[in-house]
Structure 1
Amino acid sequence: MSKPTGSTINQTPDAQLDLRGTPCPINFVRTKLRLEQMTPGSLLEVWLDPGEPIEQVPDSLAMAGYPIEALDDRKGYFALRVRRPQVSA
């Protein structure tokens, strides 16, 4: 039996967003809008196509201040886990 590795050990996403077939930069915009609707600290799993989407979206989210928790290759698409930051006091 294999053990999970990295930050995927005990984190179940609070929501999923399937953006396969969605072009850049629409996939980034939709991901960011969905994160803004979620509770601070929530985890979103986004399904992205290989190529430009997986090359651009994680970097764009990180630059916008969203922590990337995991990126899994799932044969034909990628599952990106990104967290909505906690609100600072």
Structure 2
Amino acid sequence: MTEKPNYSLDITGEVCPMTFVKTKLLVERMPSGEMVEVRLKGAEPLANVPRSLAELGHQIISTVREDGEGADGIHRLLVRKK
């Protein structure tokens, strides 16, 4: 990861729809152009959170699986607020 996020959010213990709700609430409080790194776990949040943020116009910079995790394990999502 080359860009450093301004915020971080760990939603690995949450389930949908709270994964997106908590992420959206943080992004709404952020100034435009700043970034957040979101740690999420599971196939459903991995599919829904980035898609929903992109639909709101935010930029998905990267999605990276953490070392030692399987495909449905913990991922780090980097997002820039529009």
Task: List structure 1 runs of 4+ shifted beyond 4 angstroms.
Answer: none
TM-score by length of 2: 0.87
Measure how far apart 1:50 and its partner are: 2.1
Instruction: State TM-score, norm by structure 1.
Output: 0.81
When Rg is computed on C-alpha atoms for both structures, the one with the higher figure is: 1
Aligned length in residues? 77
Structure-to-structure mapping, 1:1-89, within 5 angstroms? 8-9=1-2, 11-74=3-66, 75=69, 76-85=73-82
In the TM superposition, residue 55 of structure 1 has moved relative to its aligned partner by: 1.2
> Secondary structure at the residue paired with 1:81?
strand
Identity among equivalent positions (%) equals: 39
RMSD value over aligned CA atoms? 1.0
Give structure 1 stretches of 5+ with no counterpart: 1-7
